Amino acid sequence: MSALPASYAPERAFLGVTRSVTGRVWRDRCGLRENQTALAIGQRYGLPEILARIIACRGVALDGVEDFLDPSVRRLMPDPSTLTDMDRAAIRLAEAVERKEQVAILGDYDVDGATSTALLVRTLRAAGLDPFFHIPDRLFEGYGPNIDAIRKIAERGAKLLVTIDCGSTSFEALAEAAKLNLEVIVIDHHQISGDLPFAFAIVNPHRADDLSGLNQLCAAGLAFMAAAALNRELRRRGFWSGSLPEPDLLQLLDLVALGTVADVVPLTGLNRAFVKKGLIALKNREQVGLRALMDVARLDGPPSPFHLGFLLGPRINAGGRIGDATLGTRLLVTDDPAEAARIANELDQLNRERQVVEKVTLELAEAEALAALGLEERGAIVIASGEGWHPGVVGLIAARLKERFGRPAFAIAMLGETGTGSARSIPGVDLGLAVRSALVEGLLIKGGGHAMAAGLTVARDKLGALRAFLERHLSEPVAAARATDSLVIDAAITARAATATLIETVERAGPFGSGNPEPVFAFPSHAIAYADPVGNAHVRVRLRSGDGGALNAISFRSLDRPLGQALLAARGQTMHLAGSLSIDRWQGQERVQLRILDAAPADPLSAR
């Protein structure tokens, strides 16, 4: 770990922790100004002190508290027409509805692609059409539209194709569509630069000529905007005055919420409203496919962003990763309970298989990474590659390597003379820029992405040169990011204060996720009454505070990491601990649990 910069004065560290067992400094999320705002929020709105503090520390102004606590989709959603080409897309879709044209939808194979595809299918069905969809196979077709898929869609009689969560850079495929007189509407949220492919309409907030400011929406959010635009255009034409009633789009917010959380877009503004209201729709369990998926995932208690991201999302993703890429979308468009139950069980089984594949691959990848980094773990990046690795899990492996080594990580599945890989970054390091630069240098066959994630295709004989290039290109930003690595703390409490009532109070500031981080609490000078390995490399802990309170805790996947080892070594000793609180539901019982994120010696001198 690099030395901390001079600006990190010890007296400013939370609880004086300048170097935790994971090598981080602890910081107070709130400065003087936020603390003053928190006081004013508490007084004006009569909120508990800790809730007012959490709200203020997320940059919410005094007059914005009510909107923050109850975000409204109707109030926060802008006119869809602010998106370039959205009116053009809505008019063409309305014409397809009136003419009873055959419409096809081509979506991505991930959760955002499945939810956005399902949302468009359901919207067009409500307008009397019977659209079909195509989800490219990850192994045989790759990401986005391809020429073979375009030809098959045209052969099935489609007059209009909507690509969702893809298509913005599909020049060859969309050129083929034009040759076949297949009109295309692109609805996408991926970054683009330079020219656009030929299409009837391209709705993408990253277009240079788009001034909507909606570039934080995922594909599911954009699909919802498109559905609203279509319904409005059909209303203008008097369509809904006939035999078909205008659908209530708010009933589709469960799909939008799932796509938004799974795609890890910021939970601020409209996205936050989508998820907040979508969780309510999900709780009502009206959508047949999602209800079946919640049942097989044994989702206990009210749905939360955690359930979307770690229980439901991975099961939908499992089809695209190691099975049939259409399964997730088929589940989300069906209204047949028997079919939904069958697909949900198949996805659940695929997810179990995915976990086994991931575990075996991760062991190989970690061993290779350790050998490359050495005992002192030197190097700016981690690159692990293997023959026969499943391309569907390399993104998960990259994420685990990034988490394990605290560096940007690449995982590459080699097949013959080429490899297909994914990469994940750490805050402050633009991975997408590095990958695009490597592509320009001729080190990659294909490559692209954004700051925190990227995908690539590389020739076997270029692996060494790629590693050297990335080390040079990323050494400085990685060193700077690791040097300022910190854990941000919202408040200090004791085990006795960690109650279900406190969690209920704190959750009023949710939903939490990217852009609206889950609150992190510090527990000063708590005794480690119990610590023992449990499950798959986890460490279970029981804390006791000086006021007699006790709290169950767990540190996930830390058994062979510094955090887990420190907890086991501290049995009977006192430590500062930090983590997030949740309700652990098991066999009908509910208990408060701390998810430990970090720890530090209670005596600063003992850390030297």
User: Per-residue pLDDT tens for 237-283?
Assistant: 999 987 899 999 999 999 999 999 998 889 999 999 999 999 999 99
Angle between helix axes 86-99 and 219-236 (nearest 10 degrees) is 60
Q: Does domain 10-30+490-607 have CATH number 2.40.50.460?
A: yes
Q: Which two tokens stand for residue 225?
A: 């905007």
pLDDT for 376 equals: 62
In which element (H, E) is residue 33 found?
helix 32-45
161: number of Cβ within 10 Å: 29
Helix axes 337-373, 394-405, angle to 10 degrees: 50
Start and end residues for every CATH 3.10.310.30 domain found in the chain: 374-483
Residue 16 DSSP class: G
One-letter amino acid for residue 496 of the chain: R
Residue carrying structure tokens 């503004």: 269
Question: Any idea which residue has 């007084």 for tokens?
Answer: 43
Q: Which residues pair with 410 in a beta bridge?
A: 383, 423
Measured CA to CA, the distance from residue 166 to residue 14 in angstroms comes to: 44
Could you give the count of Cα atoms lying within 13 Å of 380 in the half-sphere of its Cβ? 18
Record the tokens describing residue 208, joined without a space: 């240079």
Residue 323 structure tokens? 């099975």
**What's the rounded mean pLDDT across residues 124-140?**
94
Share of the chain above pLDDT 90, in %: 81
Indicate if the pLDDT at residue 4 is higher than 80.
no
pLDDT surpassing 90 at residue 143: no
- In sequence order, the β-bridge partners of residue 386 are 413
Split at pLDDT 50, 70, 90, the class of 8 is: very low
The DSSP element (H or E) to which 164 belongs, if any, is strand 160-164
Contact partners, residue 544, CB within 8 Å, separation at least 6: 495, 526, 527, 529, 550, 551
| Angle ∠(85,232,209) on CA atoms, nearest 5 | 15
* Pairing relationship of beta strands 160-164 and 183-187 according to DSSP bridges: parallel
Does residue 1 have a pLDDT over 60?
no
Average pLDDT value for residue range 134-160 = 93
How far is 508 from 66, CA to CA, in rounded Å? 11
| Residue 167 · residue 191 · CB < 8 Å | no
pLDDT at 482: 86
User: Which residues contact residue 447 at a Cβ distance below 8 angstroms, ignoring those fewer than 6 apart?
Assistant: 435, 436, 438, 439, 454, 455, 456, 457, 458
Tell me the pairing of strands 453-459 and 446-450. antiparallel
Q: Are strands 491-492 and 521-534 parallel, antiparallel or unpaired?
A: parallel
User: Rounded to whole angstroms, what are the CA distances from 562 to 35, 315, 558?
Assistant: 33, 31, 7
CA distances from 30 to 6, 41, 187, 399, 519 (A): 20, 14, 39, 29, 12
With vertex at residue 295, the alpha carbon angle to CA 289 and CA 301, rounded to the nearest 5 degrees, is 115
Average pLDDT, the chain: 92
**Distance between CA atoms of residues 567 and 549, nearest Å:** 19
pLDDT at 375: 60
Torsion sign, CA atoms 31, 403, 369, 410: negative
Report the percentage of the chain scoring pLDDT > 70.
Answer: 97
For residues 272 and 206, give the distance between their C-alpha atoms in angstroms, rounded to a whole number: 20
Single-letter residue type at 254: D
pLDDT at 604: 55
Residues 6+ apart with CB under 8 A from 345: 296
When the candidates are 3.90.1640.30, 3.10.129.10, 3.40.710.10, 3.40.50.10330, the CATH number that belongs to 75-277 is 3.90.1640.30
pLDDT tens-digit map of 61-86: 999 999 999 999 999 999 999 999 99
Position 608 pLDDT exceeds 60: no
Nearest to 139 by CA among 412, 353, 420: 420
Q: Angle at the Cα of 41 (from 38 to 46), degrees rounded to 5? A: 125
Helical segments of 284-379, H only = 288-296, 305-307, 313-322, 327-333, 337-373
Domain ranges in the chain with CATH number 3.90.1640.30: 75-277
Model pLDDT for residues 322-366, shown as the tens digit of each residue: 889 999 999 999 999 999 999 999 999 999 999 999 999 999 999
Q: Three-state SS for 500?
A: helix
Looking at domain 374-483, does it have CATH number 3.10.310.30? yes
Residue ranges matching CATH 2.40.50.460 in the chain = 10-30+490-607
Query: How many CB atoms sit inside 10 A of residue 207's CB?
Result: 18
The dihedral through the CA atoms of 122, 127, 128, 130 has a sign that is: negative
CA–CA separation, 204 vs 214, rounded Å? 9
End-to-end CA distance of the chain: 14
Cα 217 to chain centroid, rounded:
12
Whole-angstrom distance, CA of residue 154 vs CA of residue 161: 9
| Distance (Å, whole) CA 379 – CA 474 | 10
DSSP 547: T
